[in-house]
Amino acid sequence: MPRLANRLAALSALTLAAVPLLGGNARAGEEQLRLTPGNMLAQTHSTALLFTITGTYRQLSGTLVFDPAANTCRIDVTFATASLALPNALVRAQVMSRGFLDPDQYPQTRFIGRCKAGGTRIDGRLTMHGQTHRFSMALTKRFSGGKLVGFHSIGRLDREHWGIDGLDMLVGRTITVIDDISLDGRRPHPAG
């Protein structure tokens, strides 16, 4: 009987040791957040002639793993290209055309990155329009009552670097990407 008890204890210890390996990717001190449109506001801003066009992704999914004390984070988020909400049907038709985002050919945009520079920047790889290139965003933590309640990030990209070269006479080359992530259960809102 003691052998059986020892074997069961050893089996239990092995099983418990394997639980972190089978679970999520978060380590001790890290928190993990499943990203949804309910807790992440992902917007693009581009200049067209004399005004700015803002687009908001309505479908996205991914994971944010972060450790506020260590100023570390990892993010992996995918956006449905066709879900980009735009100001009107005319603008949407142009942005979703074959010469621009072309969601029929390129249905998803994906960003995978890590916090750098003491948690003040996210460096990673952005896959958009079938091409993957390095992309960085400045990162700001949001606090309320001394508690971390969210993140705000902003980055700029040259769309032609990703092969988006249509509408040159109408739309500027620079796209500003702004993401706001809420950690407190409230819907995120743009900073400022």
Sequence-ordered strand ranges (E) for 121-189: 121-128, 131-144, 147-158, 171-182
What does 172-186 look like in DSSP terms, one character per residue?
EEEEEEEEEEESSSS
Q: What confidence category does residue 169 fall into, taking pLDDT thresholds of 50, 70 and 90? A: low
Count of other CB atoms within 10 angstroms of residue 24: 11
The predicted structure's pLDDT at residue 172: 75
Extents of the domains making up the chain: 31-182
Q: How far apart are CA 80 and CA 58, in angstroms?
A: 8
Confidence of residue 127 (pLDDT cuts 50, 70, 90): very high
Q: How many Å apart are CA 140 and CA 150, to the nearest integer? A: 9
pLDDT for the residue 40: 96
Distance (Å, whole) CA 123 – CA 125:
7
Q: Does CATH place domain 31-182 in 2.40.128.110?
A: yes
Q: What secondary structure letter does DSSP report for 16?
A: H
- Of residues 91 and 66, the one with the higher pLDDT is 66
The answer, yes or no, to whether residue 61 has pLDDT greater than 70, is yes
Q: Which residues contact 32 (CB under 8 A, 6 or more apart)?
A: 24, 25, 26, 63, 64, 65
pTM for the predicted model, two decimal places: 0.81
Rounded to an integer, what distance in angstroms lies between the CA atom of residue 179 and that of residue 129?
A: 19
Q: Is 169 helix (H, G, I), strand (E, B) or coil?
A: coil
Assess contact for 175 and 159: CB atoms under 8 A. Answer: yes
Integer Cα distance of 50 and 46 in angstroms: 11
φ, ψ of residue 54 in degrees (nearest 5): -105, 130
| Structure confidence by residue, pLDDT tens digits, 11-40 | 333 333 333 333 345 566 799 999 999 999
**pLDDT for position 5:** 39
Is residue 136 within 8 A of residue 155, CB to CB? The reply is: yes
pLDDT, residue 95, reads 86
Identify the CA nearest to 162 among candidates 125, 123, 112, 137.
125
> DSSP alpha helices (H): ranges in 23-134?
89-95
Q: What's the CA gap between 4 and 16, in Å, rounded? A: 18
